[in-house]
Structure 1
Amino acid sequence: MPLSPAAAVAVSFFLGMLTGGDTAVVEHTFVVSQVKMNRACRDSLVTVVNGQVPGPAIDVTEGDSVVVHVVNKSPHGLTIHWHGVKQRLNCWADGVGMITQCPIQQGSNFTYRFSVVGQEGTLWWHAHVASLRATVHGALIIRPRSGRAGTLYPFPKPHKEIPIFIGEWWEVDLVELDRRMADGSFDDNPINATINGKLGDVYNCSGALEENYVLEVEQGKTYLLRIVNAALFSEFYLKVASHKFTLVAADANYVKPYTTDIISIAPGESVDAVVVADAPPGKYYMVALGMQPPLPDTQIPVSETRGVLQYSYNPSQGKDLPIGAPVMVPEMPDLHDPITSFYFYGNLTSAFPHPRKGHVSTPSSPCGEFDENVILVATMNNVSFKIPTTEPLLEAHYHGNMSNAATLHELPDRPPIVYNFTDQAIIDFGRKVAALESTSRITTTRRFQFNTTVDIVFQSTTLLQRDSNPMHLHGHDFFVIAQGLGNYNAEMDVEKYNLVDPPPSGLFVTDNPGVWFLHCHYGFHATMGMAVAFEVENGKTLDTTLPPPPADFPRCEHPGSSLAYQ
């Protein structure tokens, strides 16, 4: 249905096709409930798994099978998505509300079963209904099955491995937050950022400092930090005073080791970084600073938190650290600085050659003042994705009903009007912007034959808000083979493509049948419609055909209602 007028946080989207040892069963039970937690000097009712934030880590070896029994004792329907797991021939376990399954209703349970094959590194799991992933999330660690030259990893084995979750603390009900974001009427912001669920002593309420996350290290030892950004709103810069990181993996793909004193990490992303405890014994702040789009874009309150990297007592020194010794603080970049992030990602390359060819480009994105009659949406090619309310898309696909659904529309190859997407004069909403939008809110899909190479260009715009857009594709790896600033130019930019060792995260091959969600991983962008569903057809053989759903698959009990919130 057309939105008139519509303020569109837009990503223009161009799409083309090019043809062409012993395992184990790792079993967990996730009890989802609401518990009272005290943060920022007040009690809040929080939806959690097994009473904790972050939730329990799932630790597996490549090739293992995972069984997770989800018992929903919360008042909301929800699903669990295994972020980054390819789910080969197992789209039913992908866990996306109303895309692959109906939500698990209050008082119900469902068991997810899947195998983790051909992947190593750090992934994570999170709720994929409403904004519940802000508190319903945890690590999914995949270890190598066989060693390489005497070590499990393609880098020296660390002394210890530690999951680090950068998140946000909200005092608003997360389901209500999602409703408001879907209506484009929200003005809510998180209280502050967190590290492993703690606000840190940068947050001071009523004179009482919040508790820090503390990482205790030993002099000379090496630590592998498995870092995940679970936030809804912000990309973060992460630094540890007087220490450097050596990046070794991103999104469960090994990268060529890259040493830096700063990490840039957007919502949904994970990186593996090695830190050597080689500084003088003491205490050092680990600071996570939320980035903001450059002025004059609308700003949110500064989101910053810190933990402490603390050296443990060393008997050879004969004494402990001095009491009251100052904690060293890292120098952080400006929170409006996008270039540090741009070059951080530009320095990542795959540790192993990638044989496929194609192209992808990723620049930046849009916010501003708009009157009370304007509906704020996020779009791809001027279309704002609408979540189905009666039947999950995967079930419609499996039963051959996709073409019968009157509400489904094919995502166009490109935006209806090609213009200067990065023109600074169109940041603010007005007649010039409205003429470029022509926005509709519908359920968009794109159908692909099996084993097609798909070539995507993500072109961010200056419409209303210039946030970056961390795009996440379910069920597949895709590879960024180029990025740039400004407008994409097919003829000129082809010279910049890295077709040898692109980093993970664009180009992909439709070798996994099912319905797979592609969306921005900012919570507000996804909820406001920056998404599309990719329908991948079956291949010609049994081992390239999607099997039937599990016998205990959740059913939609409230046809026509807003199932995502039931």
Structure 2
Amino acid sequence: MVAETQKRPPQVEMAEEKNNAAVKSSNRTSLLLLGGVTAIVIVALALGLGLGLGLKHHRHDGAATTNPKTSSAPSPGPTAPSSASESVQSWRRSTLEYDLDMNWDINASPTIRLFNFTISEIQAAPDGILRPLLVINGQFPGPLVRVNRGDRVLVNVTNQLSNGTALHWHGLYQNGTNWMDGTVGVTQCPIPPGTSFLYNFTVESQYGTYWYHSHYSSQYTDGIVGPLIVHAPEEATTRESYDFDQVILLQDWYHDLSAALMPGYLASGNENTEPVPDNGLIQGTNYFNCSLYANDSGYTCQENSTRAVFAVTQGKRYRLRLINTGAFTEFDFSIDNHTLSVVEADSTLVQPVAVTRLPIHVAQRYSVIVYTNQTSTNYWMRAQMITDCFSDDNPVLNPDVQALITYTNTTSEPTDSVDWSTALDLVCKDLSPSMLTPAVVEIAPSPNNAFRIDVSFQIGAYALDRAYINSTTWTAAKDPTLNQAVAGLKADNSTFNALGLSSAFDKASQFVISIPEYQVVDLLINSLDEGAHPFHLHGHQFWIMASGTGDFDWNSYARLNTTNPMRRDTLTIDAYGWTLIRFRADNPGLWALHCHISWHMEAGLLMQFQGRTDLMSHWTIPSDVLALCST
């Protein structure tokens, strides 16, 4: 049944008047834990799909004699015979942990799940290039957080870094625990070095594939990432369609710390030329051809570089939960000779749709079911970077990131594995929302309010190229906006209760739209930039109502499809494009909406929604959260 649409759109409010600056299109809870608590870590030991062996490669003869950062790379030498890794470095997390035990009780009563995370820096080589690596409990990638809906989750984070840190639970609503969202400058101050902080929240009203990552500067780019899986009884029907359940992390990778690359990116006159990755990783590992770096490059390349290997059994069905934990790159994911059946996008179960290539942008999640119906041999799994979206070239980069699917439990490189003939994407864009139909039907309600924001890069003082939402370029507030709002509401400061663009915050650095009471909100995100942007909304899912290029036709507003449109929490805004999203502003607190490309967020591409001040006015922020700002 089609819900009745409004004959007239609601008042469309420009959240802020456009400024007169020339817009340039650029190239782009208070619970204390005693020491010694043992973390509950779920290690899946099921026999099916899992990282068992590694494809080992050795350095080729004849190192490059030029600096590949500034000149063309030599042709790589012949591929060395592959062999099983004799040992796995202690800092590599066993991805058997990412092989989800199918005996997990999705009907179990709610319980407490306790984890201890110690975040530190080590020297390691995920792809063979030795560099500083940020790890959790001494290993990379991060540990699996696996829970049921209704569970209370306790994560005690000890920061052994020299800088602050914080963890964001990507996709979780945090309803009633906004201060546990982990967004530095918005919901908390960073966890200081040498201290611990307890994240304490209950997962309610949602289930599916999520992940967690640092939300302090560009820190997650350097390793602080991990999967978060939430189960619920409603999964039972979907579970009948697969025999094994596996999490797979995809990410781009840099051979330098993001903190070292960031100043150059933000430097005067750079004009938004983002750092181009040096490699990509699947399950935290990949092969790198050491000969691409000259002996005097300053990089140390180890000779134990590996690709991930996934052993499968013929005639079985595998659910692959794909998570793009990268900083910049959209991938086209595929498996040679195997069709993918998409069944989930950003924790929304969808009616199955068959594809051969699946675009997955930064921070997005998809589940695909793969039927292992091929002969007993080996095939390539591919996460191919869409390099046309890069603003520059990197001659050491091999954009075809590979892992091995083996029917024979061997590490022999494929001989008959052929990439799909369908063309790779030349632009960064999502799988069309029209292809995805949520399995659980929801009618998009009629909106009460609508806002438009313009996304751009502008050259400002000192020729600095900054990202803007209307005329605001975000920087993290020293006093988080949540702390400011709760204090202001308690002081009866009426500016914190006003509808629309909030005047309670510094508009030069904090763009906040306030929705004081429950409303359904439409947001038109309009991009004036020639690069694509994966936008993530904290604390909510949204309906994708419409998208296109040019100007949105408000005459079509009343004819929008409200019958079960696709729901996500992360979507790509096309170059020079727009997308209209709709969400229920029913979650109290301060919630970030930002581009998930880490370079762009640090350049200022973040805004916030302040929701339900009628409820926030009764809040008291836990003392341990407030204490983070006084250390």
TM range (shorter): 0.7 to 0.9
Task: Describe how 1:289-308 pairs up with structure 2 within 5 A.
Answer: 289-293=384-388, 298-301=391-394, 303-308=399-404
Spell out, residue by residue over 1:358-403, the C-alpha distance to the aligned partner (whole angstroms, 9 max, x if none): 58999x99899x99952111122242222212x1111111111799
Q: Tell me the equivalent position of 2:623.
A: 551
Please list every run of 5 or more consecutive structure 2 residues that lacks an aligned counterpart in the other structure. 1-18, 29-107, 294-300, 570-580
Which of 418, 432, 435 lines up with 1:347 in the alignment?
A: 435
Which of 467, 475, 488 lines up with 1:400 in the alignment?
A: 488
Using the TM superposition, name which of 122-131 and 46-55 deviates more: 46-55
**Structure 1 residue 557, shift from structure 2 partner:** 5.4
Spell out, residue by residue over 1:60-91, the C-alpha distance to the aligned partner (whole angstroms, 9 max, x if none): 11111110000000111011000000001110
Q: Is this contact kept in 2: 1:195–1:306, CA < 8 A?
A: yes
Separation (CA, whole Å) in 2 of partners of 1:457 and 1:547: 31
| Matching residue's letter, 2:244 | K
| Matching residue's letter, 2:382 | V
Which of 426, 432, 441 lines up with 1:337 in the alignment?
A: 426
Please list every run of 5 or more consecutive structure 1 residues that lacks an aligned counterpart in the other structure. 12-20, 314-320, 414-439, 560-566
Q: Is this contact kept in 2: 1:83–1:125, CA < 8 A?
A: yes
- Judging changes above 3 Å, is the alpha-carbon distance between structure 1 residues 128 and 325 closer, same or farther for their aligned structure 2 residues? closer
Secondary structure of 2:542 counterpart: coil
Matched positions, count? 501
- Judging changes above 3 Å, is the alpha-carbon distance between structure 1 residues 410 and 36 closer, same or farther for their aligned structure 2 residues? farther
Are 1:502 and 2:502 an aligned pair?
A: no
Are 1:488 and 2:557 an aligned pair?
A: no
Which of 214, 218, 224 lines up with 2:319 in the alignment?
A: 224
**Structure 1 residue 346, shift from structure 2 partner:** 3.2
Separation (CA, whole Å) in 2 of partners of 1:80 and 1:532: 19
TM-score, structure 2 as length reference: 0.71
**Structure 1 residue 46, shift from structure 2 partner:** 1.0
TM-score, structure 1 as length reference: 0.79
Separation (CA, whole Å) in 1 of partners of 2:456 and 2:424: 16
Using the TM superposition, name which of 175-184 and 50-59 deviates more: 175-184
| Matching residue's letter, 1:160 | F
Separation (CA, whole Å) in 1 of partners of 2:267 and 2:244: 45
| Matching residue's letter, 1:534 | F
Secondary structure of 1:488 counterpart: coil
Q: Tell me the equivalent position of 2:183.
A: 96
Separation (CA, whole Å) in 2 of partners of 1:549 and 1:292: 44
- Judging changes above 3 Å, is the alpha-carbon distance between structure 1 residues 285 and 249 closer, same or farther for their aligned structure 2 residues? same
Identity %: 23
Q: Tell me the equivalent position of 1:309.
A: 405
Q: Is this contact kept in 2: 1:475–1:516, CA < 8 A?
A: yes
Separation (CA, whole Å) in 2 of partners of 1:522 and 1:504: 17
Are 1:72 and 2:168 an aligned pair?
A: no
**Structure 1 residue 283, shift from structure 2 partner:** 1.1
Which of 136, 139, 147 lines up with 2:227 in the alignment?
A: 139
Which of 459, 469, 486 lines up with 1:380 in the alignment?
A: 469
| Matching residue's letter, 1:517 | A
Spell out, residue by residue over 1:285-309, the C-alpha distance to the aligned partner (whole angstroms, 9 max, x if none): 1111222456xx8334354311111
Separation (CA, whole Å) in 2 of partners of 1:245 and 1:283: 17
| Matching residue's letter, 2:627 | R
Q: Tell me the equivalent position of 2:333.
A: 238
- Judging changes above 3 Å, is the alpha-carbon distance between structure 1 residues 269 and 342 closer, same or farther for their aligned structure 2 residues? closer
Higher relative contact order (CA 8 A, sep 6+): 1
Q: Tell me the equivalent position of 1:196.
A: 283
Q: Is this contact kept in 1: 2:444–2:562, CA < 8 A?
A: no
Q: Is this contact kept in 2: 1:474–1:517, CA < 8 A?
A: yes
Separation (CA, whole Å) in 2 of partners of 1:249 and 1:555: 39
Q: Is this contact kept in 1: 2:381–2:405, CA < 8 A?
A: yes
- Judging changes above 3 Å, is the alpha-carbon distance between structure 1 residues 467 and 281 closer, same or farther for their aligned structure 2 residues? farther
Separation (CA, whole Å) in 1 of partners of 2:284 and 2:291: 16
Secondary structure of 2:485 counterpart: helix
Separation (CA, whole Å) in 1 of partners of 2:551 and 2:465: 24
Using the TM superposition, name which of 324-333 and 516-525 deviates more: 324-333
Q: Is this contact kept in 2: 1:361–1:484, CA < 8 A?
A: no
Separation (CA, whole Å) in 2 of partners of 1:411 and 1:530: 19
Secondary structure of 1:239 counterpart: strand
Spell out, residue by residue over 1:13-48, the C-alpha distance to the aligned partner (whole angstroms, 9 max, x if none): xxxxxxxx5111111011100011124543211111
